[in-house]
Structure 1
């Protein structure tokens, strides 16, 4: 079986998205020694998850859309309501409102300040 090992975020202004995701999730970014590329550390290797990369956007940003229709990353958060507030305070916007995934948790989708869509989920087996 093949497993995902890396995700990448395209950015019109890399520093603005570095600031956005650092503030939202506490991720750390390191400039790669070659080219315009930053590695993203999303947490300790002892926890499940993958790390990523950030690079300048190679083409125009996607147009407005109301729901995901691309390859989207979803991030586990402890408190979805608090994280939703941080997204909107940091220049992001809600795309798909918070919804229950019965028996699993609460999920919502957002756009970052550059128009990239991502999800956040709060695990909660009592969600209905």
Structure 2
């Protein structure tokens, strides 16, 4: 294991609300870890199970210790970017579920289509697809194959 990211954590003032949000948005399986204010987040059944190849990592969701991020505040820590098939559709679904727009869907040449939202507790996260709005898949370009 060569310095790979193997776990993430999301903090919430109302963790149960975020459990509902992320489960509904991404279909993640989230289960409470005993009596602690901590939930295990399974994004990919193969992740963490020693199965290869895994399409992602699993993580946790915990009670926030302190105030939630204020709208427009700078990011304090790391943010997640989740790989999705349809950035525009997932962006719209996230807003319907209570997220707020941070960066609307946009094409990034050589990267893909990306959008950012703040979850219902103010945590910033992104969604990324290799497919641009014109249908071009950046993974199919010669420069992507040479990386």
TM-score (norm 2): 0.79
1:2-26 CA-partner distances (Å, limit 9, x unpaired) = 1111111111111110010001000
Gaps of 5+ in 2: 47-52, 139-147
**Conserved 8 A contact 2:69-2:121:** no
**Conserved 8 A contact 1:102-1:127:** no
1:16-66 CA-partner distances (Å, limit 9, x unpaired) = 100100010000111112521100000231432110100110110111227
* Paired residue secondary structure (2:23): helix
Q: State the structure with bigger RCO (CA 8 A, min sep 6), 1 or 2.
A: 1
1:88 to 95, 107, 114: 95
* Separation (CA, whole Å) in 1 of partners of 2:11 and 2:75: 16
- Residue 23 of structure 1 corresponds to 24
TM-score (norm 1): 0.90
* Residue correspondences, number: 128
**Conserved 8 A contact 1:76-1:121:** yes
Following superposition, the deviation at residue 68 of structure 1 comes to 4.7
Indicate the structure (1 or 2) with the bigger Cα radius of gyration: 2
* Separation (CA, whole Å) in 1 of partners of 2:74 and 2:85: 23
- Residue 14 of structure 1 corresponds to 15
Gaps of 5+ in 1: none
